[in-house]
Amino acid sequence: MKRIGLFCSGGDAPGMNAAIRAVVRAAVFHHMEVVGIMRGYSGMIKGDFRPLNARSVSGIINRGGTILHTARCPEFMIYKGRKKAYEQLKKAGIEGLVAIGGDGTFRGAHRFTSEFDIPVIGVTGSIDNDCWGTDYTLGFDTAVNVALDAIDRIRDTAASHDRIFFVEVMGRKSGMIALWSGLAGGAESIFIPEARENMTACAREIVEGRKQGKTSAIVVVAEGEEAGGAFEIAKRFQKLTGLDYRVTILGHIQRGGSPTAFDRILGTRSGVAAVEALRKGKKNQMVGIQNGKMVLVPFSRMWNRRKYPDLAWLKIAEMMSV
Ligand code: ADP
């Protein structure tokens, strides 16, 4: 393989740039050319391509977001769009692809490669860490640490003003960020979409805690939690206890910022593994990390499988809030 294409697609995640840098430099090391495809499948259809060399990726390992930009592309969902994309790749002499994205990106890639003869290797870029087949997705560690930093800051105000705070973190379908940042931030209670909401227990613990001298509390809520996020949970809490509260929604700040060492290393190892996989003739697989080792997981095995958080962590959080 002489020339490969590289793109990011779906939601951005910190560490994508580290993966881009690694793909480009590993390819250059092996005397391969890399073409950057701008804005995911959308740029593929338009033929928005830029040659990348070792110097094009200087000074980006520490930057969040993606220098290749990312997008969602409804046109790629239909056959005509995918055919156009394939013709653009052929015209540019691109023989293989590295896709950095989430579940949807790989679903699209899988469909594409079953229709057209081009190998794709995926690198997971997603802050949610809900991708089956890998212990961690790229960007999760950074997002957790951003959320944790915010929780620590909110705790200062909560403690000074004797207040109860409900902090909403990202995760429409996944409670991973809430569980990790909540446990690390010493939250009194954590609400996630994967577990049945237990407001009565949360209210009881906080009221009990106040009787025992606790003057403030932090409750972490995943945005996709079944009751409808932090505002709804907080309202229910007030109805049960009559206590005053504040709500903070962290939102997109969790997606940005300089990636942690963990995400930079995961991005670097994943990018190198993706190039090695293409060189070995592998196709339609995702690069993942399992027990510290880089592994390849076929796209077809990921469908219909969901990664669940360890719900025992909720019990630990409860024990820690006595
Ligand atoms: P993520 O990769 O972060 O999960 P999305 O679910 O938005 O993000 O998917 C990114 C893009 O992948 C979509 O905008 C679309 O272009 C493509 N895609 C997703 N699912 C499919 C599919 N079933 N068939 C073809 N393309 C798809």
Q: What is the mean pLDDT of the chain?
A: 96
128 among known catalytic residues: yes
Mean pLDDT of 194-205: 91
Task: Please report the pLDDT score of residue 227 as a whole number.
Answer: 85
- pLDDT of 121 above 90: yes
Q: Is 100 helix (H, G, I), strand (E, B) or coil?
A: strand
Ligand 1 pocket residue status of 11, Cβ below 6 Å: yes
> Which atom of ligand 1 lies closest to the CA of 103?
4
Count of CB atoms situated within 10 Å of the CB of 160: 10
Report how far ligand 1's centroid is from the alpha carbon of 77 (Å).
8
Structure-token pair, residue 98: 């590295």
Task: Please report the pLDDT score of residue 226 as a whole number.
Answer: 86
Residue nearest to atom 8 of ligand 1 (CA): 10
Rg of the chain over Cα atoms, rounded to whole angstroms, equals 22
Ligand 1 pocket residue status of 49, Cβ below 6 Å: no
Ligand 1 pocket residue status of 72, Cβ below 6 Å: yes
Lowest pLDDT segment from 180-189, 248-257, 298-307: 298-307
Task: Please report the pLDDT score of residue 304 as a whole number.
Answer: 80
Task: Please report the pLDDT score of residue 83 as a whole number.
Answer: 98
- pLDDT of 303 above 80: no
Task: Please report the pLDDT score of residue 119 as a whole number.
Answer: 97
Report how far ligand 1's centroid is from the alpha carbon of 78 (Å).
11
Ligand 1 pocket residue status of 124, Cβ below 6 Å: no
**SS3 annotation, 203-257:** HHHHHHHHHCCCCCEEEEEECCCCCCCHHHHHHHHHHHHCCCCEEEECHHHHHCC
Q: Residue 181: phi, psi to the nearest 5? A: -70, -30
pLDDT digits (tens, 9 = 90+) for 27-74: 999 999 999 999 999 999 999 999 999 999 999 999 999 999 999 999
Ligand 1 pocket residue status of 159, Cβ below 6 Å: no
Report how far ligand 1's centroid is from the alpha carbon of 70 (Å).
11
Ligand 1 pocket residue status of 146, Cβ below 6 Å: no
Whole-angstrom Cα distance, residue 284 to residue 13?
22
Residue nearest to atom 20 of ligand 1 (CA): 104
Task: Please report the pLDDT score of residue 216 as a whole number.
Answer: 95
Whole-angstrom Cα distance, residue 81 to residue 75?
5
Cβ pair 21, 60 in contact under 8 A: yes
Count of CB atoms situated within 10 Å of the CB of 140: 30
Structure-token pair, residue 229: 């996020």
Q: Which of 103, 128, 130, 263 is catalytic?
A: 128
What band does 269 get if pLDDT is binned at 50, 70 and 90? very high
> Which atom of ligand 1 lies closest to the CA of 42?
16
pLDDT digits (tens, 9 = 90+) for 136-147: 999 999 999 999
Structure-token pair, residue 51: 């040659």
Query: Could you tell which of 7, 37, 75, 76 is best to mutate to test the pocket of ligand 1, judged by most ligand atoms within 8 Å of the CB?
Result: 76
Whole-angstrom Cα distance, residue 165 to residue 199?
15
Whole-angstrom Cα distance, residue 244 to residue 167?
14
- pLDDT of 225 above 90: no
